[in-house]
Structure 1
Amino acid sequence: MVSHTEIQASNALINDATAPRTAVFVGGTAGIGQLTIRALVATDASVRIFIIGRKSAEERMNVFIQELRTTNPKAEIIWIEAEVSLLAETKRVCAVIKGKEAHVDLLFLTTGYAPFGGRKETTEGVEIAQSLEHYTRVLFILHLLPLLEKAEAPRVVSVLSGGMEMANIDLDDIDLKRPGNFNVMKAQTQYMALHTMVLEKLADQNPNVAFIHSWPGWVNTGNVKRGRDPNSFLSWLIWFTLEPLIWLFATSDDVSAQMHLFQCTSAAFGGRGIPWNGKPGVTSLGKETDGLFLVNKNCDCTPNAKVLAKLREEAQGKIWDHTQDVLRPYL
């Protein structure tokens, strides 16, 4: 376990020379994304941050962005409005960033929610939670990889469920479209395995980029409320049961922010970044560099070796090919 004191000491070394100079936050309008942005800006480093979010968040984000500019006048904050559950919108946003930047140091991805309200599809025919938690995240990575490759210490941090994968996924119905084949637990199990397998493949293909799939534990982001009628019985049940548990056991906002800032900057993951004298992180393939780091809520690496070996042998090829087929029209 990496102690909070060690994390704070590492983060205290972030400055103009060591900070990710250009960072893209997808899902930075609330929760862990917003907390991490605030922590990065508070380092007083000179940074340029793209925040991508929905139109409905724009008014609230204008207030947040003004707060950031007051906290750190050297920080340049760029808001891009987009509905990133849509693959076409993701492609458009990436084109905007590629038109403005020569490199990207950090891509931080946090979009998604647990689909307690049942299966709901985007206008492109993709289940919304699956699009947010897997497809659009991978599409952002694929489009921005050329800019990441030009950075000195590029990093992709995808916050979902790294190290929590299970092997019992449905390869005959990867998108869970068959009638009666969708429920929230099956969907989340499916999506976390899909995402880890594709991230591992991307990490193997791009050894100069550090890839992290982070499991943050419980953080009170409000995502359990998303995707359902707030006046429904299910919403009431979640409010009555889950929210008190989250409040009781959740990691505090400040601790979560510092943990994820550490994941964004420390050489503990891949050897590039803020110098780290502690135990180095180990990838999903057991290496200390060049691979995918599955990082838990204590900033420890959890390779989940037995499950991932099975997924790698039986599922990774099919998952990779299927993901490529879905994304191909938007590349």
Structure 2
Amino acid sequence: MVSYKEIQASNALINDATAPRVAVFAGGTSGIGKFTIRALVSTGASVRIYLVGRKSSEESSRAFIQELNAINPKADIVWTEGEISLLAEVKRICEHIKKTESRVDLLFLTAGYAPFGTRKETSEGVEIAQSLEYYSRMLFILHLLPVLSASEAPRVISVLAGGLEKANINVDDLDLKDPANFSAIRAQMQYGTMNTAFLEKLASQNPNVTFIHSWPGWVSTGNMRRGWDENSIVARIFWFILEPIVYLFGYSDEESGQRYLFQATSAAFGGRGIPWGGKQGVNSLEKPEEGLFLINYSCDCTPNAKVMPLLREKAQEKVWDHTQQILQPYL
């Protein structure tokens, strides 16, 4: 485990020269994304952050931006409205960013929730949680790869289930359209494993970009209240039991933000960033700067060595081809 003191010491070295100068946060209006933005801005470094969120989040986000500007007047927070469960909206947002920025240093992806209720699709025919946790994230990456590649130390972080992959995902129904295949637990396993399969191949194709798939552990983000059917008695019981446990034993908002700022900036992952004297992270391919870093809540790399070879053999190409087919109309 990387201790909190070590993380704070590393983050204290972030300045104008070492900070990600241009960052895109998709899912930064609440939870881990919001905590990480606050941690980055609090370094005092000169940064520009694209804060992507829904129209319904604009009012609270404007107040958050005012708070950030008071903390660090050198921070430029650009409110970017968009419903990113829709892939067409992701394309629009990315086209705007590419027209405005010649480079992006950090792409931070956290949008999503566990679909505890019935399966619901967007107007584009994609299950909502899968779009947020997987398809829209991969579309952000594919669109922004040119400007990420223009950075000296580009980094992509997808916060979901790094290290928790399962080899037995349903490759015959990757979108879990058959009601018999769909449940919250199966969906989270499927979407998390698809993240890893696709990201690892992207990492091997783009060795100049550091790719991280991270599992945050217990953090009180409010997301466990999303995805349930309204007025569900089961949901209320679930919240009553789990929310106090997460609050008592999970990371605080501040520590979560600091740990993700460490993942976003430390040379512990990929050999670039803030100098790191501790144990170097090992990626999924165990090759310097070629694989995907699977990182757990302790900021330790968890290569999942037993599962990953099976995943590559049985599912990776199918996930890759299927994803390209779904995303092609929006590229």
Same fold (TM over 0.5): yes
Q: Is the 8 A contact 2:212 2:294 kept in 1?
A: yes
1:290 aligns with 290
Query: What stretches of structure 2 of length at least 5 have no aligned partner?
Result: none
**Which digits, 9 at most, give the CA deviation of each residue in 1:200-234, with x for residues without a partner?**
00000000000000111010000010123453213
How much identity, in percent, do the aligned residues show? 68
What is the CA–CA distance in structure 2 between the aligned matches of 1:24 and 1:156, rounded to whole Å? 10
What is the CA–CA distance in structure 1 between the aligned matches of 2:216 and 2:135, rounded to whole Å? 20
What is the CA–CA distance in structure 1 between the aligned matches of 2:38 and 2:244, rounded to whole Å? 26
**Which digits, 9 at most, give the CA deviation of each residue in 1:25-69, with x for residues without a partner?**
000000000000000000000000000011111000000000001
1:175 aligns with 175
Q: Is the 8 A contact 1:283 1:294 kept in 2?
A: yes
Runs of 4 or more, structure 1, over 6 Å off, are none
Q: Is the 8 A contact 1:170 1:190 kept in 2?
A: yes
Q: Which amino acid aligns with 1:262?
A: F
Q: How far did 1:4 drift?
A: 0.9
1:57 aligns with 57
What is the CA–CA distance in structure 2 between the aligned matches of 1:114 and 1:277, rounded to whole Å? 37
1:177 aligned counterpart, secondary structure: coil
1:330 aligns with 330
Q: Which amino acid aligns with 1:174?
A: L
Q: Which amino acid aligns with 1:89?
A: E
1:44 aligns with 44
What is the CA–CA distance in structure 1 between the aligned matches of 2:62 and 2:179, rounded to whole Å? 42
**Which digits, 9 at most, give the CA deviation of each residue in 1:283-307, with x for residues without a partner?**
0112342221001111100000111
Q: How far did 1:240 drift?
A: 1.8
Query: What stretches of structure 1 of length at least 5 have no aligned partner?
Result: none
Q: Is the 8 A contact 2:118 2:229 kept in 1?
A: no
The range that moved more, 66-75 or 176-185, is: 176-185
2:207 aligned counterpart, secondary structure: coil
Tell me the number of residue pairs that the alignment of Structure 1 and Structure 2 aligns. Answer: 331
1:114 aligns with 114
Q: How far did 1:237 drift?
A: 1.7
Q: Which amino acid aligns with 1:180?
A: A
Per the normalisation by structure 1, the TM-score is 0.98
Task: Note the aligned Cα RMSD (angstroms).
Answer: 0.9
Q: How far did 1:183 drift?
A: 0.5
Find out whether 1:163 has 2:176 as its counterpart.
no
What is the CA–CA distance in structure 2 between the aligned matches of 1:19 and 1:254, rounded to whole Å? 18
What is the CA–CA distance in structure 2 between the aligned matches of 1:240 and 1:113, rounded to whole Å? 18
Q: Which amino acid aligns with 1:149?
A: S
Q: How far did 1:248 drift?
A: 2.4
Q: How far did 1:178 drift?
A: 1.3
Q: Is the 8 A contact 1:21 1:48 kept in 2?
A: yes
Q: Is the 8 A contact 1:87 1:136 kept in 2?
A: yes
What is the CA–CA distance in structure 1 between the aligned matches of 2:288 and 2:4, rounded to whole Å? 22
Find out whether 1:14 has 2:29 as its counterpart.
no
